[in-house]
Structure 1
Amino acid sequence: MDSVSYKAGFLARMHSPQQMQLLFNHLPDVYFFAKNREGRFVMGNDHFVRQCGATTESDIIGKTDFDFFPLGRAESYVQDDNYVMETGESIIDRVELAPDPGNSINWFITCKVPVYSIGGEIIGLAGTARDITRAGLALRPYTEMRAVLEFVRDNYSRPIEIKELAALVHLSISQFERRFRKVFQISPLKHIMNVRIRAASLRLTASNDTIATIALDCGFYDHSHFTRNFRKIMGVSPKEYRKQYVS
Structure 2
Amino acid sequence: MTKQQQGEETDHSQQTPARLDELTRANEQLRQELAQLNAAYRTLTRERDLLRALIDHLPEYLYIKDTNSRFILGNAATARGLGVSGPEQYVSKDDFDFFPPELARQYYANEQSVLRSGQPLLNQEEVVVDPSGKEGWASTSTIALRNDEGQIIGLVGISRDITELKLTQEALSRQNAYLAALHDTTLALISHLDLNDLLENLVSRAGELMGAAHGFIYLVEPGMVQK
TM-score (norm 2): 0.54
2:156 counterpart letter in structure 1 = A
Q: Deviation string for 1:212-237 (max 9, x for gaps)?
A: xxxxxxx999xxxxxxxxxxxxxxxx
Aligned residues: 142
**Cα pair 1:85 1:125 within 8 Å, conserved:** yes
Alignment equivalent of 2:68, drawn from 38, 55, 58:
38
Q: Is this contact kept in 2: 1:111–1:129, CA < 8 A?
A: yes
The answer to whether structure 1 residue 67 and structure 2 residue 97 are counterparts is yes
Question: Do 1:148 and 1:165's aligned partners in 2 also have CA atoms closer than 8 Å?
Answer: no
Match of 2:203 in 1: none
| Corresponding residue to 1:166 among 145, 159, 176 | 176
> What is the RMSD of the two structures over their aligned residues, measured on CA atoms?
3.1
Match of 1:27 in 2: 58
2-structure distance, mates of 1:18, 1:78: 31
Is the 2:83–2:130 Cα contact (8 Å) retained in structure 1?
no
Cα separation, partners in 2 of 1:21 and 1:90, compared to 1, 3 Å: farther
If you compute each CA radius of gyration, which structure gives the higher value, 1 or 2? 2
By how many angstroms is 1:121 displaced? 0.8
Equivalent residue letter for 1:147:
T
1:112 corresponds to 2:133: no
Q: 2:77 aligns with which of 47, 54, 58?
A: 47
Question: Normalised by the size of structure 1, how large is the TM-score?
Answer: 0.50
Equivalent residue, structure 2, for 1:230: none
- The CA deviation at 1:31 is 0.9
Q: Distance in 1 between matches of 2:212 and 2:128?
A: 20
Unpaired runs of 5+ residues, structure 2, are 1-42, 182-210, 214-227
CA distance in 2, matches of 1:62, 1:118: 23
Give CA-to-partner distance per residue, 1:44-71, whole Å, 9 cap, x none.
1111112112111111111111111111
Offset from partner CA, 1:8-57 (integer Å, 9 cap, x none)? xxxxx8447675343222123x1111101121101111111121121111
